[in-house]
Amino acid sequence: MYHKGNYDTYSSFRLTYIRRSQAEVEYEKKHKIELQKMSLEDIDQVCEIENLSFAVPWSRESFESELVNNNLARYIVAKAEGKVVAYGGIWIILDEGHITNIAVHPEFRGRRIGEKLVKEMIKRAKESKAERITLEVRASNVAARKLYKKLGFKDGGIRKGYYTDTGEDAVIMWNELI
């Protein structure tokens, strides 16, 4: 406990590391995450993550249609040792990007893979001349909202009862890219 410049005990003092630990560095070297365009061959693994992540998951047919028929769609997968561990999608409509979905396999959460995916989607949106990006996120998804704010998104409004499984509201978030 802190009292006027002093800590009661050494154990109550917490260190804040600025650099990553050697264990984290070694783990990342061993388990390098690669981002690449989603292919039809990735869909089975994407659907597994989708089913683990969402109460109302997209179907295999929805992902196939997005990849084959939707010229506005850009989907990315994150792979570790050749296995899909996360994915994200964005539609580029004129000068706007709309993040459609993003999910990380539960075993790989907390490793900044979602952050890498969002940064990549922002990069691709900029390359496509998008001036802003929007998304909807569950009001209760504090971790995702915190990540989006860290990456420059701001709350823009509420969609009442947006999520059909629970009737939960969605927070609309925007990121101005220019």
Positive/negative CA dihedral, 131, 137, 142, 147:
negative
89-92 contacts, C-beta under 8 A, 24 or more apart: 89/38, 90/121, 90/124, 90/125, 90/133, 92/124, 92/125, 92/128, 92/130
Residue 115 a catalytic site member: no
Catalytic residue chosen out of the listed positions 17, 131, 148, 176: 148
Residue 28 a catalytic site member: no
* Active site positions, annotated: 136, 148
